[in-house]
A and B are shown apart, each in its own frame.
Chain A
Amino acid sequence: QVQLVESGGGVVQPGGSLRLSCAASGFTFSSYAMHWVRQAPGRGLEWVACTLHEGTNTFYADSVKGRFTISRDNSKNTLYLQMNNLRADDTALYHCAKDRYGSGMNWLDPWGQGTLVTVSS
């Protein structure tokens, strides 16, 4: 079955960097757009970034534009999120999620269990 497993979360100081990974299996990874979505403690869901199936076209929320970079390695069935210049308000559980189709403008199904990022001094 479709499975998404995130890793790479941890505790980082403000201004630091972190790289998240999402290992995908059970579907043709290279055919689908992929997303990162986060949930800060006590807050709602926030879409973070999307990459289309080929990896060339990427889209970002204004809150992370210029600091985060989404990428993918279709040969490794893996999605990445490079996070630079991290701030306290980036503290959240980060989920990767599969776009239902390929356009990046669909509902998200399924989701991974998430990896926790804590930005604190």
Chain B
Amino acid sequence: DIQMTQSPSSLSASVGDRVTITCRASQGISNYLAWYQLRPGKVPKVLISGASTLQSGVPSRFSGSGSGTHFTLTISSLQPEDVATYYCQTYNSAPLFGGGTKVAIK
């Protein structure tokens, strides 16, 4: 069975910092990867699909890259409204989520 491992599990950064979250698959999943943002009290929101395709309405400071087993989500300039937990999800087979990365402001 595929396993999805995210790192770090949490991070704290200053407003304006560049933030990178990593997601690793235990076997190759091509580019069948999405990233979600879960803000407190809000509905989960998809940010990126196909590993790097930004969804409509998502700020351009978010970007995704990777293929195969190694993927990254980057926030180029962290904003206060980006405080959330971020999850990767593979859809190579049945949906499977990573463990999540909690992002806080320092």
Contacts and interface: CB of A to CB of B under 8 A. Distances in A.
A109 interface: yes
29 contacts: A39-B38, A44-B97, A44-B98, A44-B99, A44-B100, A45-B36, A45-B38, A45-B89, A45-B97, A45-B100, A46-B97, A47-B94, A47-B95, A59-B94, A61-B94, A97-B44, A100-B49, A105-B32, A105-B95, A106-B49, A107-B46, A108-B36, A108-B44, A108-B46, A109-B46, A111-B43, A111-B44, A111-B45, A112-B43
Interface residues of B, number: 22
Dominant secondary structure of chain B at its interface with chain A: loop
Given A45-B87, A95-B44, A113-B43, A108 B97 contact: no
B87 A105 contact: no
A110 B97 contact: no
Given A44-B98, A111-B44, 16 more contacts: A44-B87, A45-B38, A45-B97, A46-B97, A59-B94, A95-B44, A97-B44, A105-B91, A105-B93, A105-B94, A106-B49, A107-B91, A108-B34, A110-B43, A110-B45, A112-B43
Q: Which residue of B43, B96, B98 has the most chain A CB atoms within 10 A of its CB atom? A: B43
A35 interface: yes
A50 B55 contact: no
A97 B45 CA distance: 10
Interface of B: 32, 34, 36, 38, 43-46, 49, 55, 87, 89, 91-100
Contacts of A107: 34, 46, 49, 89, 91
B95 A35 contact: yes
Contacts of A97: 44
A41 B93 CA distance: 26
Contacts of B94: 47, 50, 59, 61, 105
B58 to A, nearest CB: 11
A84 B98 CA distance: 27
